[in-house]
Amino acid sequence: MSWITAKRRRPVANYAVVLLGLILVGAIYATITGSGESAASTNPTTSQAEIAKGQQIFLQTCATCHGLQAQGTAVAPSLIGVGSAAVDFQVSTGRMPLKATDAEAPTKPRQLDPAETKAVAAYIESLAGGPAIPTPAEVSSSGADVALGQELFTADCAQCHNFDGAGGALTYGKYAAALNQATPTQLYEAMLTGPEAMPVFNDTTITPDQKRDIIAYVVDSRDTPNPGGFSLGRVGPVTEGLVAFLGLLFFMVLAAMWITAKHRKSADE
């Protein structure tokens, strides 16, 4: 009798098969997910002063990839002219410093605190200018035209970020981020600087007022409670269909099984 046949009936054999199956599925999944190409460069814009501390932090944290003069290297783009807005966006969302090269820099807990971030941003701004960090007044929702914001968002943002800012898939492993965690300032900065694959919506294409309208719409929309119950991720019919099968139909099958179950006592009669 072969080794497998001898061991087949042991209880541990079941667990071994399940484990093998899990490993197989995991291996297949790992080969088809994850890394694509690294992110490419953003655009050069002008910057400001307040440098020394920022330069110090820059040399410690960023220069290994971005170069000692922020001129860029083979693995990271030049930061000459990206402006304080870009730096603030990337660092405050935790995308930078990058931990691993992947198709897209994911958000993670921020590594530099707000003061450090401001300093680095000022340093980069001082090198060659670029879009500036917006003021609180520029990103506030008071007096904003939410209706216009909805129109602009639908025409120029929803195709990547989804009608509710839930994010969406791009090509080669990239994705448009979900917007539910972004602060108004970060939203403004993203529109202004066009991080990674996102297009640039400068202040003369979508004016600062219109940006405020869009921000007001996004914040408004994500703060809106779900009157119909749990949102199911606000993804749309995909999760609804899953609930219809795994929830509704499954519940009905259980009910049917209960109703038609044979009485146990009938077997003894």
Partner 1 sequence: MSDTGVPEGLPHETEGHAGPHRVIGTPPPAQARTLLGDGSDRAGDGALPAQRELPADLPDPARAKRAERLVAGLFLLSMVAGIGFIAAYVGLEVHSVDAVLRSNLALGLSMSVAFLGLAAGATIWVRHLMPNVELTEQRHPLHSDPEDRQAFAETFAEGAEASQFTKRPLLRRTLIAATVPLVAAPVVLLRDLGPLPGTSLRHTVWRKGMRLLTYGANTPIRPGDFSSPGGMITVVPDGYQDNLNALAAATAIIIKFQPGVMVFGKPGQVRGGYVTPNWTVDNIVCYSKICTHVGCPAALYEQTTHHILCPCHQSTFDAPRGAQVLFGPAPRPLPQLPITTDAEGYLVAQGDFHEPVGPSFWERG
Partner 2 sequence: MSMTTKLLEGTGGWLDDRFHGARGVRTLFRKIFPDHWTFLLGEIALYSFIILLLTGTFLTFFFQPSMTEVVYHGSYTHLDGVRMSEAYASTLNISFDVRGGLLMRQIHHWAADLFVAAIMAHMLRIFFTGAYRKPREVNWLIGLALLTLSLFEGLFGYSLPDDLLSGTGLRITEGVLLSVPIVGTYLSYFLFGGPYPGNLIIPRLYIIHVLLLPGIFLALITAHLFIMFHQKHTQMPGKGRTNTNVVGAPTYPYFMAKTGAFFFFTFAAVALASTFAQINPIWLYGPYTPVGISAGSQPDFYMGFLEGSLRMMPSWTWDAWGHTVMWNVFIPAFIPLGLIFTGAALWPFLEQWITGDRSEHHVNDRPRNAPTRTALGMAAVTFYGILWLEGANDVIADHLDISLYLTTEIARYAIFIGPVVAYIVTKRICLGLQRKDMHLLEHGVETGIIRQLPSGEYVEDTRPVDEDALAVLEARQPPPSLPVGASAAGADDVPPPGMRGGLGRVRERLNEVLTESVPMDGHGNGYGNGHGNGHGDGHAGPGRAAISSGGSEQAEGTAEGQEDGPD
Binding residues (CB under 8 A) for partner 2: these are 29, 32-34, 36, 103, 145-147, 150-151, 154-155, 158-164, 166-173, 175-176, 217, 220-221, 224, 226-232, 234-238, 240-245, 247-249, 251-253, 255-257, 259-261, 267
Nearest distance, CB of residue 107 and partner 2, angstroms: 14
The H-or-E segment that residue 237 falls in is helix 237-243
Nearest distance, CB of residue 31 and partner 2, angstroms: 10
Nearer to partner 1, 43 or 183 (CB): 43
d(C-alpha 246, C-alpha 251), whole Å: 8
Nearest distance, CB of residue 117 and partner 2, angstroms: 28
Nearest CA among 92, 44, 70 for reference residue 194: 44
Nearest distance, CB of residue 266 and partner 1, angstroms: 5
Vertex 138, ends 211 and 166: CA angle to 5°? 45
End-to-end CA distance of the chain: 46
Judged by the rule CB under 8 A, the positions of this chain that interact with partner 1 are: 39-43, 45, 148, 151-152, 155-156, 159-160, 168, 170-172, 174, 194, 196-202, 204-207, 210, 224-229, 255, 258-259, 261, 263, 265-266, 269
d(C-alpha 152, C-alpha 158), whole Å: 9
Q: Name 177's Cβ contacts closer than 8 Å, sequence gap at least 6.
A: 107, 161, 167
Nearer to partner 1, 148 or 243 (CB): 148
* Pairing between β-strand 175-176 and β-strand 168-169 as defined by DSSP bridges: antiparallel
Nearest distance, CB of residue 200 and partner 1, angstroms: 4
